[in-house]
């Protein structure tokens, strides 16, 4: 019987900023920024290199999914069925997309970065034009 070696990896940072469950996380396409969203209900944009929260995107309901639209904008889906686009530097919501009657489960950006697709608990998917935000 072969004995397997177990490698232990060291935690290099802890980001203690959410008061409820964390539901989604994603790295920006370039750099050391990451977005972390949860049911508390907020999305926090982190500069991991400096361990700084760069901005906080406040929602009315829990954040369930997210995707980056390039390096400056982020899309989030939440339990209220609304997709929001955020300016990652300021933390301001710059656009909202409505059309779902239940929580958003998933978001995906098209390869050409022109369209954002959302999937919802209402059994529908919606396609939104996001040209100019990528």
Q: Which domain covers residue 50, as residue numbers? A: 22-129
What CA–CA distance (Å, rounded) separates 33 from 51? Answer: 10
Given this model, what pLDDT does residue 51 score?
87
pLDDT reading at 7 higher than 80? no
Residue carrying the six token digits 């978001």: 107
What CA–CA distance (Å, rounded) separates 86 from 57? Answer: 7
**Confidence grade of residue 3 (pLDDT, cut at 50, 70, 90):** low
| Residue 12 maps to a domain | no
pLDDT digit string, tens, across residues 30-51: 888 999 999 999 999 999 988 8
3-state helix, strand, coil in the chain (%, to 5): 0, 50, 50
Domain at 76, CATH number: 2.130.10.10
| Residue 96 maps to a domain | yes
In the three-class reduction of DSSP (H, G, I as helix; E, B as strand; rest coil), residue 54 is classed as: strand
CB neighbour burial string for 106-120, b if at least 16 within 10 angstroms, e if fewer? ebebeeeeeebebbb
Neighbour count for residue 20 (Cβ, 10 Å): 11
Check residues 61 and 5 and name the one with the higher pLDDT: 61
Q: What is the pTM of this model?
A: 0.87
| Residue 1 maps to a domain | no
| Residue 15 maps to a domain | no
Given this model, what pLDDT does residue 104 score?
98
| Residue 98 maps to a domain | yes
Report the range of poorest mean pLDDT among 63-67, 106-110, 130-134.
Answer: 130-134
Segments of the chain assigned E as strands: 22-27, 33-38, 42-47, 52-58, 63-69, 73-78, 83-87, 92-97, 104-109, 115-120, 125-129
Number of domains in the chain: 1
> pLDDT over 70 for what percent of the chain?
95
pLDDT digit string, tens, across residues 52-85: 999 999 999 999 999 999 889 999 999 999 999 9
Cis peptide before 69 (omega within 30 of 0): no
């Amino acid at each position: 019987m072969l004995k397997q070696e177990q490698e232990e990896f060291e935690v290099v940072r802890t980001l203690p900023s959410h008061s409820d469950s964390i539901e989604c996380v994603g790295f920006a396409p370039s750099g050391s920024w990451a977005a972390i969203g949860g049911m508390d209900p907020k999305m926090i944009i982190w500069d991991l290199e400096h361990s700084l929260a760069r901005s906080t995107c406040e929602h009315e309901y829990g954040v369930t999914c997210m995707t980056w639209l390039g390096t400056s904008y982020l899309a989030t889906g939440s339990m209220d069925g609304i997709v929001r686009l955020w300016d990652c530097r300021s933390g301001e919501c710059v656009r909202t997309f409505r059309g779902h009657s239940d929580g958003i489960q998933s978001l995906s950006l098209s390869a050409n970065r022109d369209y954002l697709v959302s999937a919802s608990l209402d059994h529908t998917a919606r396609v939104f034009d996001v040209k100019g935000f990528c």
